[in-house]
A = this chain, B = another copy of it.
């Protein structure tokens, strides 16, 4: 909230500055009009991109960077997290076992421990919870 207000304020200031500069340059006549227009165009293009990103950020949990801190907080081990990711890709325990070169028993152990740590009853629920925590890629 505070950030948004600050950014908007900065933008307004930048806008006014640009206007001032452009009229100034025109009066003094030592800068070509095309240059000014191009500058303004580029600045507002960038502003558009930034604002759009901000809005999308607020609206949904996009840009999806993985929350590594959350993974630690949950106490998920490296292997458990790997298994979780494979589950989210729709693999069975057997398939995960082959992919990670371990036995299916091992995968079952990891899955079981992971489910407890995520407080999930099923692997499908684990996927949903992991998505909410933003600990797996969309």
Chain A residues at the B interface, C-beta cutoff of 8 Å? 15, 19, 22-23, 26, 33-34, 36-37, 40-49, 51-53, 56, 60-62, 64, 87-92, 120-129, 131, 138
The answer for the CA separation of A119 and B15 in the assembled complex, in Å, is 54
Closest residue on chain B to residue A51 by CB atoms: B49
- The reply to whether B121 and A124 form a contact with Cβ atoms under 8 Å apart is no
Check A120–B90 contact: CB distance below 8 A.
Answer: yes
Given contacts A52-B49, A56-B62, contact A33 B41 (CB under 8 A): no
Q: Cβ of A52 and Cβ of B48 under 8 Å apart?
A: yes
With A44-B44, A60-B62 given, is the CB distance from A122 to B52 under 8 Å? no
**What distance in Å separates the Cβ of A14 from its nearest Cβ neighbour in chain B?**
11
Assuming the contacts A124-B127, A129-B90, asked whether A60 and B64 have C-beta atoms less than 8 A apart, the reply is yes
Neighbour of A23 across the interface among B33, B51, B62, B123, CB < 8 A: B33
* 6 further interface pairs, Cβ-Cβ under 8 Å (given A26-B33, A92-B121): A15-B41, A19-B37, A22-B37, A42-B44, A56-B56, A62-B62
Which residues of chain B have C-beta atoms less than 8 A from A41's C-beta? 15, 40-41, 43-44
CA gap between A127 and B130 in the complex, in Å: 14
- Chain B hits for A128, CB < 8 A: 88-90
Residue of B nearest to A36 (CB): B37
